[in-house]
Amino acid sequence: MKKTDAIGIFDSGLGGISMLCTLSSYLPNEKYLYYGDCANAPYGTKSREEIKERCFAICEELIQRGVKAIVIACNTATSACVKELRKAYPQLSIIGMEPALKPAVIHKKNQNVLVLATAFTLREKKFSDLMSLYEHEHRIYRQPCPKLVELMESGDFHDPQKVDDALFEYLTPYQDCNIHSIVLGCTHFVFFKKRIQELCGNHVEVIDGNMGTARQVKHLL
């Protein structure tokens, strides 16, 4: 393993490109190898075993290509098997992602937070454990958004009407909940961040975990 080796990044499809963009801006002198598993997207509707099988196959491919670290640019894949991957490949730094709940509530009181993620991420113990750290003081709402993943993978994210129809479906139920912040718990959703901000207004903070993950990559390397 050399300093000049690439950082491997993978996702269930196109969403992790948002993480790649953040990393390449934050660490511009690194080399990157991106694996988008579009043929098997989405992961959010698959079983844990199916997701694990794909993640191990992808990691084997990246390791064969000589990466010095692997970023799981997918909250769903992280929830499914990040511990198993770290145990299987102790020679590597393996960095996962989780919904950025902490930045949404840190140094604040009585926050109403809406977490947008895949159904798999929201029902997993990993996310329940994360929620338990903050739900005694804050109100946390969970909303799965499968159509946003589908829009990205199909290329329909360029269609403003289809995007707005999906966002209205997921956001309208919370319009009377006095939401303070929205957490984007899927890298696919970062591509809709600007539109979500426009629809919700500047009084709502829209947060993703990409920069926090990039800082962790730098720290570990």
Kindly report the three-state secondary structure assignment for every residue of the chain: CCCCCCEEEEECCCCCHHHHHHHHHHCCCCCEEEEECHHHCCCCCCCHHHHHHHHHHHHHHHHHCCCCEEEECCHHHHHHHHHHHHHHCCCCEEECCCCCHHHHHCCCCCCEEEEEECHHHHHCHHHHHHHHCCCCCCEEEEEECHHHHHHHHHCHHHCHHHHHHHHHHHHHHHCCCCCCEEEECCHHHHHHHHHHHHHHCCCCEEEECHHHHHHHHHHHC
Catalytic: 74?
Answer: yes
Q: Which of 55, 59, 74, 145 is catalytic?
A: 74
Q: Is 145 considered catalytic here?
A: no
Q: From the candidates 55, 81, 186, 200, give the one annotated as an active-site residue.
A: 186
Q: What are the residue numbers of the active site? A: 74, 186
